[in-house]
Structure 1
Amino acid sequence: MTNSMTSVGFTVKPMPVGAEVTGLDLEKPVPDATRAALYAAWLEHGILLFREAVKTNAQHLALSRCFGELEMHPMPEIRSKDEPYLIELGGSRRTSASAYVYDGDQLREGRLPWHRDTAYTVEVCKGALLRLVEVPPKDGETLFADSQKAYEQLPEATKQRIEKLEYKATLRMGPFQQSRPGSTWHSVRPPTSGEFSGPTQLWAGKEIINRYPSVVHPVVIQHPETGRKCIYISPTYVDCFIGMDQVESDALLAELAGYLADPANVYAHRWTPNDVMLWDNRRFLHAAMGFDPQYHRTGLRTTLAGSLRSGRYFATQTEDFVPATNIND
């Protein structure tokens, strides 16, 4: 795809990872030819950045629908009351904002390790469009990792090892549960009262975690639209690789997470208000670096329907357990 696409109403500027779209006019309906070209650019680059492009929820929804039908997020607690296809990130919907101290001296709220959205369900969503409305004056970056590029970097022996492997995934919430390979910190602790006077309890209770039973997904997928292979794990939710003991499993998880987080495969976005990031959730993972809790960071996000239906519910293994030969069964 060429850099210039002004004939269809926008220009694509490739970045080392992903691409930026400029010149798109969202003040009027998006023509079919423009929608098709946007979709092609998305499949090619995996993430698209629209800087300061969306000013209203209506524009956010219209841009989202250029990439397919929308679905409601599986957690109703974070859906917008005004528009159920939008979820609210940060702000009043999180009933208690939690801050923790990372790596000994970084007091941060909203820090999240590498993950794929909804990978704790049997149907991992196709993609998402995130727009930040309120941005802290420093920090608060979101990282995006290209699992297609990471797969291509793997040694051939590792590719063969993981080709038909599956992993068990369970929803984990909170930094203590998420401090596994794929986290973006080495240590974490609650802050002292002098460091932070707010709550340090997880906003979601056990009833939410228990709502989502463990699932199984393949470690490698072939992208259904591009045909390219991707490392399909969501590190923060990985319990173990099926058929491995925990030590062997954790070692493999650390190895794969290292390829995913290779700086050559990562784009770090520093937000300004009304930026929109679109990512292909089948190909890209993301992580949030968090921000100083004296500031605020709020956003809105849509979720694209059309999952791979790649998962199945996990059942306790019996002596005659056989991994699924067709993950779609």
Structure 2
Amino acid sequence: MAATRDRVRIVDTTVLSDDWYVLKKVTFDFLRRDGTWQRLSRETYDRGNGATILLRNAGTGDVLLTRQFRMPAFVSGHDGMLLEAAAGLLDDATPEARIRAEAEEETGYRVRGVRKVFEAFMSPGSVTEKLHFFVGEYDASLRTGDGGGVAEEGEDLEVVEMPLQAALDAVERGEIVDAKTIMLLQYVALRETAGARGMTPLLVLVAGPYRSGTDGDPARIAANLHRLEAAALAVYRCGHVPMIGEWVSLPLAVAAGSRQVGDEIGEAFLYPAAHRLLRRCDAVLRIDGASRGADADVSLARQLGKPVYFAIDEIPVAQDDSGS
């Protein structure tokens, strides 16, 4: 079967509306599986991509939602007042930067432990939007205001805090009918169910400075490696399996003929080995310190949809299977 781009020939695009967002009619020829071409027309509504986040209080287990009026739901026979997770359009920002700002604007809380969990097209039959889904934590110490959104933009949000189970019950009763919110609530519920059974240990890549900022000083390189290994030990104590890229790349470089840290042979192994390893890992722990290599690990992990943690207490504890 031909690649999708070879099966679609755009014939004409007509803008039907360009008021709030852009509605287009696209006429195209599509190569069917039987080898014949068929001319079709579809309308696409482009409102940009967005992000959403479910905020969870790690101490109480409560979730933080908003209640707001939605006209499309209202004209569909609903009362229009929807309970939702915080969300917003990207508007040229990165998904994480946008959702941090949007969550604080809507709920009045700064967010920590932000982690992307998946992304999805919400209505691919007609709407172009892809939504980036996050989870994060809040507590009373992170309160910055009352939330409620921006009145000048027509927002009038009520902040609603409730236990996770109450939110799940509200889904079953049909009181929460917003798809993105249901998806995030069910994601968290599934994770908790897995945790109750005993979370499977993760293979966690610890990423941070190794040679960065050392000017090649062996003592400073050793100090950086010690910090990486201390973080790896903390990961192990959480019940997971830690890995450091240098544990793989350094022995390989020596076997290939490297004679000192940072020589041409060593450099040829350092980043490629870490990136190959990352593809087999389940998550990344990024420790403090400037490092282009560690930043590249974080970027790749996010592209692959893997969790990225920035503090050891963000990593869920796995079941102790040591037998002790």
Larger helix fraction of residues: 2
State the TM-score, normalizing by the size of structure 2.
Answer: 0.24
The structure that has the greater radius of gyration is 2
State the TM-score, normalizing by the size of structure 1.
Answer: 0.24
